[in-house]
A and B are shown apart, each in its own frame.
Chain A
């Protein structure tokens, strides 16, 4: 299923010769009940004949309306059947699109936990309406205005509460296993989801979790015992002709299982204690320097134009907040799970500013993964913001990571048409700290080298020295291809 609406890539927004040709989303291929496609850059979801009865029940029973009203499910408009991209359509809808589609390996602990609890809440409500979630993929959840929301409108099917939940295993692999590992072992285990697109195998989770996790009734049942049950079932190897076995459980049992999953997820915690979460209070800036930097950043944000911004190396989001105040919808990237967690705790919830903190190591960003490398897109393939902020980032890339300045400039220019970039020279205490234990092999690292590198792909719109600091801020504009 797992078919995220994406904001149209730039290329899709340009008028193209065969504008009427629908483009099917490459993440849609697994789902026999429907798929997502774009026509003229607009996102549609087509409901296929096998899902007709479920779709009708979902609509007419009122569950759809309630879930949308409570902002648990993305809203949509009905489209005419003429819009169908392939034969066999029983309905076509136009879901609201989101600015940006993020993936579970980019979420902090609380984001994944909230997505898990949303999934269980949806299942709970579906059961009360004589339906159920047909899958429990973490990729079906996105973050919208500070809250998780289900984006797959076709996730519901009619089912008796006495049938076991087919998505139980998927829920444990997509949500419970990574949450348990992040909480009980190390928060960086969340990144394992990059390797395991179908969720973390339970035998692996069981081996990696500390022994003490067996004393947690929920984890003992849903992960350790579950892994054992899978191992035993795999050893049985039924003959292909054997009839598919029918299993039944009581309705109370169904609710009890769901309740147990809810309790287990709710009982997992993680608190950020990290180097970067205290970074803001340990920067080299004096008060005057901080004020000056804030003033210049605000002016540059006002001059930047556009409506979306990516703050790369956002830390806990001081400048993301400024960008949001200036009217941008912001994605705040940071490589540190603790910073992103701390930032999320500030911005989440009703009426929070339009900021989405996400985890990404800019020196090794999210790759494209999955079938034909098309199921989940890379960091660079998911649309571009109107403006990029790279404050106190370049010295980490150039000196911490040995990336030459022209390489950094080229990547920035691939990412956004405008950028606010801070240059931190070698004299700065933070750069000196990076160089403390190293031979200085960075001859070109200086403000002249910076200008020379960035003036290739960009035009320098404004350059402003920060008061009471050796640092400089640049507002850059990408040169068009033909200039």
Chain B
């Protein structure tokens, strides 16, 4: 079902957003992998642990 917003999201803005999201996902994931690896190398695993925690919480809330 298409969703409807109460403000005008702008059809051009919606399309661009979907395209940008696709393009930006690659460097975003890459940075995440690098930063997780960096934190693991430095011994602390805080960032990755925190992200896992957030993911769990998200899953829990469905």
Q: Which residues of A line the B interface, CB within 8 A?
A: 30-33, 61, 128-130, 134-135, 159, 163-170, 172, 221-222, 225-226, 229-234, 236, 238, 243-250, 252-257, 259-260
Contact = CB atoms under 8 A, between A and B. Distances in A.
Nearest to A57: B61
A289 B21 CA distance: 61
B2 A253 contact: no
B12 A244 contact: no
A231 B27 CA distance: 28
Nearest to B8: A169
B18 to A, nearest CB: 5
B43 interface: no
Contacts of B4: 244
Contact of B58 (A128, A159, A222, A238): A128
B34 to A, nearest CB: 14
B13 A254 contact: no
A229 B12 contact: yes
B58 A230 contact: no
9 contacts: A134-B6, A164-B17, A169-B13, A230-B12, A246-B1, A246-B3, A249-B21, A253-B22, A256-B21
B9 A166 contact: yes
Contacts of B1: 246
A257 B15 CA distance: 13
B24 A231 contact: no
A233 B61 contact: no
A108 B15 CA distance: 32
Interface string B18-55: 10111011011100000000000000000000000010
B24 A233 contact: no
Contact of A252 (B3, B7, B12, B25): B25
Nearest to B24: A256
B7 to A, nearest CB: 5
A120 B14 CA distance: 18
Contacts of B6: 30-33, 134-135
A257 B21 contact: yes
Interface of B: 1-18, 20-22, 24-25, 27-29, 54, 57-58, 61-62
Contacts of B58: 128-130
Contacts of A246: 1-3
Contact of A135 (B7, B17, B20): B7
Contacts of A243: 2
A129 B61 contact: yes
A320 B1 CA distance: 55
Sorted nearest first, the 7 A-B pairs with minimum C-beta distance are A253-B21, A233-B12, A166-B5, A256-B28, A169-B13, A229-B12, A256-B24
Contacts of B10: 169, 230, 233
Among B7, B61, B62, chain A packs the most CB atoms within 10 A around the CB of B7
A246 B7 CA distance: 16
Contacts of A170: 7
Contact of B18 (A164, A232, A233, A238): A164
A250 B21 contact: yes
A128 B8 CA distance: 24
A471 to B, nearest CB: 52
A245 B24 contact: no
Given A130-B62, A169-B13, A255-B28, A248 B18 contact: yes
Nearest to B4: A244
A165 B17 contact: yes
B25 A253 contact: yes
Contacts of A236: 11
A61 B21 contact: no
Contacts of B17: 164-165, 168, 247, 249, 257
Nearest to B11: A233
Given A128-B58, A226-B16, A233-B11, A245 B29 contact: no
Contacts of A257: 17, 20-21, 24
Nearest to A202: B13
Contacts of A244: 2, 4
Contacts of A253: 18, 21-22, 24-25
A30 B5 CA distance: 12
A119 B12 CA distance: 22
Contact of B7 (A167, A233, A259): A167
B57 A128 contact: yes
Contact of A229 (B9, B15, B22, B57): B15
B7 A128 contact: no
Contact of B12 (A130, A234, A256): A234
Nearest to A245: B2
Contacts of A259: 24, 28
A32 to B, nearest CB: 6
Contacts of A260: 20, 24, 28
